Structure 1
């Protein structure tokens, strides 16, 4: 009599899959999307995908198939470069390397609950449409770097208001407008955007030896205890078989 094939590897894979899918809801631990990625803990929460329920919008992160850590600000998706929990800073970049275009979709209401890194300092910036240039890079220093913005796929260029159009090779570009903002042209040229968040008041929870988590999407906080908190994995009986001896 032919014995049924072993399904033990299938059981193991199923259990590992369930653990992985459930781990994003466990707020006792510290998580990350992979090696070299920033650690994720309160006030942030790791969710399975951009459409998943988020306890407090703005603080939910998700992982891509490439193990990149992503943050969604309204409809703008930005990659997380670093998180500094002590200084309440988060560093972002555009995975498509077109930050000037993404920046135009962000305003004060869309970046809530964040603020720009240094709102006390302002820069006067000029935005240019360089779609008529028709080559990959402009002839200036920033555009000569290996990771510089591709002007064909992303023809929106930003500079300081006082920069020379001639020295930046922008004579074939059309100026769109000027703005005053706490973000520097250099940061956007280097695909870097730094934001800050206000510290959540966890003092009462810490005094009780407990941790904080978001209670609702209005920013209210509740305490919870991580001691003796274990995750139970339920495997349907229909998936459990006896391996042949």
Structure 2
């Protein structure tokens, strides 16, 4: 029952872990107002679609129907046309299609953004068309959304002097795009390019990772989900769960088996101890000793002649020393089995062993039956006699 409860607990834990992992991915996954572009992800967040921790402070965006809107504290709302996370650039435009008007009052204070490529433009209010006679149309841009029936507002990059019939309105540093900065021109129908320095996620995005806050922290930035060689994360989760739960069951079963085995071993050990301490009948022990000299000498001996005629059943080699029999050597035969050996070899053997080296037969009278208790008593008596001092 305990194993089943433990297994249920771990299953519940894995379920909660996976649910929270999926929830985190869903709430901070990229989103958009129109379902396509621009894609909004960290450090930006859509205030009505993503949680607070999914974006960096002051990087909040909102949706105006299908348009993505950025609010600059001192300049108002702008439409976000594109976000480049690799170069950390955001491209904004005026929702009323009069970008020059917004440029005249553009103030990036209080925001994390700045112009990456800045070009100075001078704005003039001209009450006649005489300016066009002195300036190439490519060097000056008429701004129709700022102009009226009796005047024309133009923007010029680095004018040498004030055009005839015009007055200087303002000199503005415009955050242009790279190609406009490179050629010193300005298309006021295109968007403005802004950049940000913090948080710096360029390396993470370049490596294919996901930039965001570290483990519920709202100050430290980290990079996760970096591409790795091998199995995808979902497959690893499946393997962990698929192999982890059966493995846990096996470990619990093995632990129960070992516990039961230890208990059974303890009971057997206790039973053996009780049996050993109980009174039992004396056991009989067969003690086999060597033969005495008289018995050994009673076995027949033969001196080999020149023809080395040997009796059967042995061959011409002594089974004890493994040497061939030679002329004039003495051999001895065991009467019971008719096996023969060098006399010196078999005599030494029979003094310590009462059996034939080949067939292991024991001659009659070479063994005796003695109670085990008698042997123990005899050993104890011998020990006592050897330890007590001798008297004269």
TM-score (norm 1): 0.54
Q: How has the CA–CA distance of structure 1 residues 197 and 152 changed in structure 2, closer, same or farther, with 3 Å as cutoff?
A: same
CA distance in 1, matches of 2:73, 2:115: 16
CA distance in 2, matches of 1:225, 1:117: 28
CA distance in 2, matches of 1:45, 1:210: 14
1:35 CA displacement: 4.6
1:212 CA displacement: 1.6
Alignment match, 1:176: 169
1:197 CA displacement: 1.2
Alignment match, 1:73: 72
- Secondary structure of 2:199's aligned partner: coil
Alignment match, 1:160: 157
CA distance in 1, matches of 2:223, 2:157: 48
Q: How has the CA–CA distance of structure 1 residues 42 and 32 changed in structure 2, closer, same or farther, with 3 Å as cutoff?
A: same
Contact 1:97 1:191 in 2 (8 A): no
Contact 2:43 2:199 in 1 (8 A): yes
Which runs of 5 or more structure 2 residues have no equivalent in the other structure? 1-22, 129-135, 226-232, 235-392
The answer to whether 1:128 aligns with 2:124 is: yes
Contact 2:42 2:56 in 1 (8 A): no
RMSD: 4.4
Q: How has the CA–CA distance of structure 1 residues 103 and 181 changed in structure 2, closer, same or farther, with 3 Å as cutoff?
A: closer
Length, aligned pairs only: 177
Alignment match, 2:48: 48
Contact 2:123 2:169 in 1 (8 A): yes
CA distance in 2, matches of 1:91, 1:41: 15
CA distance in 1, matches of 2:191, 2:160: 20
Query: Which structure: larger Rg?
Result: 2
- Per-residue CA deviations over 1:51-85 (Å, capped at 9, x if unaligned) read x9x964531111112x0111111142111111111
CA distance in 2, matches of 1:223, 1:124: 38
Q: How has the CA–CA distance of structure 1 residues 210 and 89 changed in structure 2, closer, same or farther, with 3 Å as cutoff?
A: closer
TM-score (norm 2): 0.36
1:225 CA displacement: 9.3
Structure with the higher helix share, 1 or 2: 2
1:99 CA displacement: 1.9
1:210 CA displacement: 7.8
1:173 CA displacement: 4.7
The answer to whether 1:194 aligns with 2:193 is: yes
